[in-house]
């Protein structure tokens, strides 16, 4: 442990640089995954055929071993190649499932009576989505984003294998050198990063939970 | 006529009209299609035969959104938006209609006063902070928000305790008398139907078995009506 602290102190500049690379990859991937995943999740609640395609595809993506996915992407034109761009694409694909799932589950979880009331009052489909479904689904969607982020922080360590940088650089170096201290110099900051992201997003989740949300069950009870 | 997905046909030959200032209450067993009747009126459902007209225009010719904004809708489980305050719920339709902020605030206060929930005290509460009866009042206020000429009410007082229910029924009758709106109200409670309806109809799987003023309804010779009115006597005696 003392070795690790010493190592990190001696390489503070490099550690900071790798951490920034790591965070950048994860943030970009999660943002792209939200931009793609939330509309897909919404689409899945609207059309039955989409539901199967979207949920099936994102499930399958999740089962591909991450090292293999990074490898598969290298020869793909435009998005592939060696470097951070390929890594971000791979991370995005992994981040999709929890976000699509969360969006789908969140919107499906809105009580039918509430949806029906919205339509009955003359909301258009878009108004129902923006004013009712998304606000009520927001905590569930955000918990999907949270899971996606934590997973991405972990998987991003493997991105170093295709030259994308990040804290994985130390892990691979340490493995090659058979040096535990160097491995830990990558692994420990990465773990701390995951915990921090989880805590911050958890905080945000509680903040955006609509006031009446926690007690939605109460509404079902005949008074 | 309306066909449900399993192939059964509801209301083959149902004919009913509601005058601009009367409350018509349809009573019927569960599953007979009471809710369906209401949904045919605001075009949440469309008829497979025959036609439904609102203000003389076929529902299928109405823009569904425009139709629903001119039709107040109060449903069984209230359906208040849990993430909006009481004021937010009541002001929603005016907001959708693009009213100015000030006018919405004014209208919301007026309506909440009308249903006995002063805005200063209740406006900023959330639905889960209200009792069942209070929620129903908010549901009624919300339905009245844009002053629609027609109200559709789907067992609005069904989940309330008898005392609250009685109070709300009395208030509702008073409100309808004052506002002079057309209302189509469905319930499974014949006592409620007789208390609130200008006319009372019995809805059965075959269609509308009877429709008459409450006084004529209780003396009807129709066997199903007699059976229904009979249950009323029993509960009164027992």
CB atoms within 10 A of CB B189: 17
Q: Is B68 part of the contact surface with chain A (CB cutoff 8 Å)?
A: yes
- Above 60 in pLDDT, residue A222? no
pLDDT in the model for residue A219: 39
Are the CB atoms for B104 and B94 separated by under 8 Å? yes
Q: Would you call A123 and B96 a contact, using CB atoms and an 8 Å cutoff?
A: yes
Instruction: Kindly tell me the burial class for residue A177, based on how many C-beta atoms sit within 10 Å of its own C-beta (0-12, 13-18, 19 or more).
Output: exposed
- Res. B163 pLDDT band, cuts 50 70 90: confident
Q: Is B83 part of the contact surface with chain A (CB cutoff 8 Å)?
A: yes
Give percent of chain B above pLDDT 90: 16
User: What is this structure's pTM?
Assistant: 0.79
Q: Is B73 part of the contact surface with chain A (CB cutoff 8 Å)?
A: yes
Q: Using an 8 Å CB-CB cutoff, list chain B residues near A114.
A: 79-82
Distance (Å) of CA A181 to CA A110, A172, B50: 49, 12, 80
Q: Is A123 part of the contact surface with chain B (CB cutoff 8 Å)?
A: yes
Closest chain B residue to A123, measured at CA: B65
- Res. A19 pLDDT band, cuts 50 70 90: very high
A14-41: average pLDDT = 94
Q: Would you call B132 and A118 a contact, using CB atoms and an 8 Å cutoff?
A: no
B201-230: average pLDDT = 82
Q: For residue B68, how far is the Cα from the chain centroid?
A: 13
- Res. A112 pLDDT band, cuts 50 70 90: confident
Q: How far apart are CA A139 and CA A137, in angstroms?
A: 6
Q: Is B66 part of the contact surface with chain A (CB cutoff 8 Å)?
A: yes
| Average pLDDT for chain A | 86
B41-82 pLDDT, tens digit per residue, is 888 888 777 777 787 778 888 888 888 888 888 887 668 898
Closest chain B residue to A117, measured at CA: B79
pLDDT in the model for residue B208: 79
Q: How far apart are CA B43 and CA A120, in angstroms?
A: 9
Q: Is B88 part of the contact surface with chain A (CB cutoff 8 Å)?
A: no
- Res. A64 pLDDT band, cuts 50 70 90: confident
pLDDT in the model for residue A217: 40
pLDDT in the model for residue B105: 93
- Above 70 in pLDDT, residue A35? yes
Please state the ipTM of this predicted complex.
0.79
- Res. B237 pLDDT band, cuts 50 70 90: very low
A181-186: average pLDDT = 91
């Amino acid at each position: 442990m003392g070795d690790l602290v010493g190592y990190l102190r001696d390489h503070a500049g490099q550690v900071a640089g790798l951490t920034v690379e790591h965070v950048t990859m994860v943030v970009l991937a999660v943002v792209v995954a939200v931009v793609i995943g939330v509309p897909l999740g919404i689409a899945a609640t609207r059309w039955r055929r989409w539901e199967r395609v979207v949920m099936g595809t994102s499930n399958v993506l999740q089962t591909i071993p991450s090292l293999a996915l990074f490898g598969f992407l290298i020869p793909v034109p435009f998005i592939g190649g060696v470097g951070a761009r390929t890594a971000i694409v791979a991370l995005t694909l992994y981040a999709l499932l929890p976000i699509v799932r969360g969006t789908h589950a969140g919107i499906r979880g809105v009580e039918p009576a509430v949806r029906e009331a919205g339509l009955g009052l003359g909301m258009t489909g878009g108004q129902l989505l923006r004013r009712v479904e998304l606000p009520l689904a927001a905590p569930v969607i955000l918990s999907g984003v949270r899971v996606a982020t934590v997973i991405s922080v972990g998987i991003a360590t493997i991105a170093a294998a295709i030259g994308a940088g990040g804290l994985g650089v130390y892990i691979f170096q340490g493995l090659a050198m058979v040096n535990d201290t160097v491995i830990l110099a990558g692994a420990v900051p990465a773990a701390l990063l995951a915990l921090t992201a989880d805590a911050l997003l958890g905080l945000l989740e509680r903040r955006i939970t609509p006031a009446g949300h926690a007690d939605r069950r109460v509404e079902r009870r005949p008074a | 006529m309306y066909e449900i997905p399993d192939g059964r046909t509801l209301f083959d030959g149902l004919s009913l009209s509601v005058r601009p200032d009367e409350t018509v209450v349809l009573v019927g067993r569960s599953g007979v299609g009471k809710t369906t009747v209401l949904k045919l009126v605001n075009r949440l459902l469309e008829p497979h035969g025959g036609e439904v007209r609102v203000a003389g225009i076929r529902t299928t010719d109405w823009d569904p959104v425009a139709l629903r904004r001119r039709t107040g809708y109060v449903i069984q489980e209230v359906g208040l938006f849990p993430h909006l305050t009481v004021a937010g719920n009541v002001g929603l339709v005016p907001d959708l209609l693009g009213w100015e902020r000030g006018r919405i605030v004014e209208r919301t206060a007026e309506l909440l006063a009308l249903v006995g929930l002063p805005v200063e005290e209740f406006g900023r509460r959330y639905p889960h902070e209200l009792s069942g009866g209070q929620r129903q009042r908010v549901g009624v206020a919300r339905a009245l928000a844009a002053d629609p000429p027609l109200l559709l009410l789907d067992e609005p007082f069904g989940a309330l305790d008898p005392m609250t229910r009685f109070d709300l029924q009395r208030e509702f009758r008073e409100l309808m008398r004052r506002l002079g709106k057309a209302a189509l109200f469905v319930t499974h409670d014949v006592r409620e139907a007789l208390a609130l309806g200008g006319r009372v109809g019995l809805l059965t799987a075959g269609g509308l078995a009877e429709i008459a003023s409450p006084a004529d309804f209780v003396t009807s010779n129709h066997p199903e009506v007699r059976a229904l009115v009979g249950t009323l006597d029993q509960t009164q005696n027992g």
